[in-house]
Chains A and B, each alone.
Chain A
């Protein structure tokens, strides 16, 4: 009896050693910086990493700042623009890639390709495509639209690029979900005379809903945190800069250009709360539509 418990303790120690690299990594790289960030958000930042505790001043300044609210609005707008459309299109692509069409593997590879390309490279190419003077879109369609400079349009332009870059990845995840659906369900539906559209809404959609839920959560989080795309597409000299700034680009500016890391941390904490709230709502809401029965 005593021997087994000793073995068990040994096992536990070995278990800890095995997971140690991950746990140490998490603590050093994620959890500790997270705690530091919260502390920093309540501090005044001095040059060279010095901090002075000052209470909620950063938050007061933040909530009174119009630029901050604009950035929050932009972030939510970007989210609304990209997530529903993006997921809808990914689902359609996934269903098409799941059907028996010629060259299916090639299509799958093509749709997944944007995911393999570095976001910076994607942004550079799209910047030329959307260039109002020499870009291919305006030239081919004979338009004169400031895709990247008209403050009302820039966020929509960025949304298009974001959706384009993510469709492949989401579609592959959904495709995996689709392939788990038993063929017998469709055969039964065929026998009952259900149309393809009816089959989609009554079988495919409910059966793929757990995967859809995962994709939705990931996509919402990543679009609330969008930075690289906007940073690459809209540079400092762009008059539309203020109208496209998201929370993360505001954070970057405050933290690394203006050097106010305390205030920047407050923006990050706010973003975390925002993402937390949105995710919480989704977990509550999922009970209404996600189907976990096979």
Chain B
């Protein structure tokens, strides 16, 4: 039996490990292989089309689109960033961008973005706390009111339009419920697809102007929260308990209720996933607040994704060139035409709208709402306060907390979490 010394054994193991590590990296023949990570499988084709357009002009580059589900996306990206193994290009979301930008992980993209072609909100959604662009704006979205035409017809109520106010919403819901027995407006306790919109319509806000503290105790915020949470007292509104088992979208497309709030990014998948329902439903702009404490009563939340890369990337020159293309008119147009999302590039909205030509749906209302949209709520402490705030909201809904106590508690949660990031 040949004797193996401990040293040579260790050396062999180390060599094996080194071989394993060396496996990742670029190739020798001058081509650059990039990875591009996204979370929405529905947008894969659009992203692929965009990458193909780039690689057609740059044959030395290949880009592989990888889809990781939203639930594990951020855990994975954080671990990969820590290990300096992040994908070359990845989607960034407003929930997380401040964490990445403020910890100096993302590359400054100011030089490659044609800022004059993007709205202030789009740029803000791709910026760090210091106001520097750390990503390339990808898309922008708004929230609209989806309604079931058949239920409106059955109850003899006219369809929602821009004249609608909160009062019209309540009256119509009552009439539909009385006439058909179906739910009216399904007031889900969600933030972006729920109460945030109403708060800003009333002239309130979730965070203070400088975003360093909460603003739940503001009278306008309180008025909107009181109205929104109060909706579930009506017979025509399902309770949050109902939504825990049946999401509002599921209830709507099973024809259990007449209205709910939906983001534009879900409309095309819903048209495709529920072919029997096409023609039975439509979308409208959000109803406005009849008595706002400031402003004209109109608002919708506008979020936006962006493309980013990390500072430790090995092919930064190529990656920045790809990112520049993604943010260019051409890249944004391809994205829009695929129906993936509304391009952030101003003037390219029609490329997205054109995807809906074959469907009987008033899709332009989502574009119209950009005139008065507000930036999605965000500050660096959001990951910390997001869950506790929704827990507290549920406690108000179940009656475990009064509205006043609940709002005070939400205020406290946001302030405490934010205090770690923003000095008084």
Contacts and interface: CB of A to CB of B under 8 A. Distances in A.
Q: Answer yes or no: do A and B interact.
A: yes
Interface of A: 10, 13-14, 17, 20, 47-49, 127, 131-134, 146, 148-150, 235-242, 253, 256-260
A235 B391 CA distance: 12
Interface in B183-202: 188-190
5 contacts: A133-B245, A149-B244, A149-B245, A239-B240, A239-B397
Interface of B is mostly: helix
Contacts of B189: 237
Given A131-B245, A241-B394, A257-B387, 6 more contacts: A14-B1, A49-B79, A237-B189, A237-B390, A239-B394, A253-B387
Given A48-B82, A49-B82, A239-B397, A10 B1 contact: yes
Interface string B237-268: 00011111111000000000000000000000
B383 A148 contact: no
Interface in B1-40: 1, 3-4, 6, 9, 13
Contacts, number: 76
A47 B79 CA distance: 10
B383 A146 contact: no
Given A256-B75, A259-B383, A242 B241 contact: no
B387 A17 contact: no
Contact of A260 (B3, B240, B244, B384): B384
A239 B392 CA distance: 10
B163 interface: no
A240 to B, nearest CB: 7
Q: Which of B6, B82, B394 has the most CB of A within 10 A?
A: B394
Contact of B245 (A132, A241, A259, A260): A132
Contacts of B188: 237
Nearest to A127: B245
A238 B395 CA distance: 11
Contacts of A132: 241, 245
A221 to B, nearest CB: 25
Interface in B99-126: 99, 103, 105
Given A10-B1, A239-B397, A258 B244 contact: no
Given A13-B4, A242-B391, A237 B82 contact: no
A48 B1 contact: no
A150 to B, nearest CB: 8
Given A133-B242, A242-B391, A48 B397 contact: no
Contact of A240 (B190, B244, B246): B244
B82 to A, nearest CB: 4
Interface string B64-80: 00000000000100110
A258 B384 CA distance: 5
Contacts of A257: 383, 386-387
Interface residues of B, number: 36
A133 B390 contact: no
B398 interface: yes
B81 interface: yes
Contacts of B245: 127, 131-133, 148-149
Given A47-B99, A133-B245, A239-B240, A258 B6 contact: no
Interface string B205-249: 000000000000000000000000000000000001111111100
Contact of B103 (A48, A148, A235): A48
A241 B189 CA distance: 14
B241 A239 contact: yes
A237 B103 contact: no
A13 B244 contact: no
A237 B240 contact: yes
Contact of B390 (A20, A236, A240): A236
Interface string B137-150: 00000000000000
A17 B244 contact: no
Q: Which of B240, B241, B388 has the most CB of A within 10 A?
A: B241
Contacts of B1: 10, 14
B78 to A, nearest CB: 6
Contacts of A240: 244
Closest 4 CB pairs of A and B: A238-B244, A49-B82, A149-B241, A239-B394
Contacts of A149: 241, 244-245
Contacts of B190: 237
A235 B244 contact: yes
A259 B81 contact: no
A132 B243 CA distance: 11
B3 A48 contact: no
Contacts of A242: 391, 394-395
A49 B80 CA distance: 11
A252 to B, nearest CB: 10
B412 to A, nearest CB: 15
Given A148-B245, A237-B240, A239-B394, A48 B78 contact: yes
A24 to B, nearest CB: 8
Contacts of A10: 1, 3
B176 to A, nearest CB: 19
B393 to A, nearest CB: 10
Interface string B362-391: 000000000000000000000110111011
A82 to B, nearest CB: 23
A229 to B, nearest CB: 16
A177 B40 CA distance: 50
A235 B6 CA distance: 52
